[in-house]
Structure 1
């Protein structure tokens, strides 16, 4: 008697036609969205080039895409200090543009990093203990409503024009959003979940670690995402004074010098960096709380 070995290719395909069609439909939908975004970007650049090439707007107010690109390249290379002068200078203001960006990212990392540590701790305490929430919440909302430029002068008086005042400004910009998101997450935990684990004999610590923390984690990550975005928009205000090196300080200084191409190049870099940071936080959120949206 002979036996015929069954190869993997001969095994029954467990994917149904509907599943394959659904997967192909999702891929085609993603490709259409990507193609639409690329097309929109091309149309925008062409319209920008056409307006500047036709001279409808003075280059001082809107330089051409080529001029912005040249400013970006110059900010990242050694170049002549002026035409016909042999002396070379490094980037802009003595730093390459990527060094300006790195300096701003370091300030964001320290300021927002401190908010990510302090915010959830205070938020959990306020969410679990109502007297503390009643006492602190008005001040927290007051701080959240203040625009950063409203207290940057006071921070400079307290901490000087160095990095300390900038880090404090970024911390204060991010801290309220993370704390409030944590409080909302604690308050949104279904009471039935808590009663169910208590009926099974769980103590207060187990309720906190097995129910409250996992249920609150998605809200905390959402608050961190909002806080990082708001802190990044505050980077220009944080670097108004002695902000070199810093991408926000370079954008402000180039604007005061009427170097519009460099200003727009800095704005583009700031915007792209914000998108990258947001995508990174979303990716971390998917890894950290895979149960989000599946309950």
Structure 2
């Protein structure tokens, strides 16, 4: 790692980074009065690990050729990725107030043409892993050592295009590809496990030839360990980490309400959620 990222990693704990990602996301939700905040709170530990432990990039040069790529397949998770990129210094914190506004660089669904550091336009769901496969293959043929990380959702495991990409990655021996599945058991039609046969996710990927792990996605040490094992695995195969996350993690009064794909937050609850987060700030 080059530049200021090494210094940032040594001075600030991952727990503090995850806390900040949650807080940035809540502030954006407060600006718009809405957003996929349940997903953002749930995946914050995964994003903190990716951006402040695993990935190589330059905050002041998002197009640096030597960077690792982070492909957000789940376009509606943009609020979470913006929060991570704000914490990383890729996007300025003062742009939080523009979230979802006309002419903002942070539209409510992620679009590469608008936002520095947003590698792809996410959605329709099921396309991100295929794009990541192409990018990983291209980087490998160019002789680079960059990695491609692809964050996809549990609902995307019901898309045929995802499994075509799974097979293609094995065919091309893409050991520079790390897929990360946010498994929060929620999708637009209801609980993921009620939509299509789900279960034994890691075993399914492993059966196709991937190095597969399944972890508690809100257990930071476990997530860090999984990322390290994925990066250091000695095998000419792609890697996947199934991260079981809890929607609205970190805000108890949201965690305990009936959870659906889109968590509704009342106007007065945004400030209450931010106050709770502030009271729990880690060192």
Higher RCO by CA contacts (8 Å cutoff, separation 6 or greater): 2
**Structure 1 or 2: larger helix share?**
1
Verify same fold: TM over 0.5.
Answer: no
TM class, shorter-chain normalised? under 0.3
**Structure 1 or 2: larger strand share?**
2
Structure number with bigger Rg = 1
TM-score (norm 1): 0.21
TM-score (norm 2): 0.21
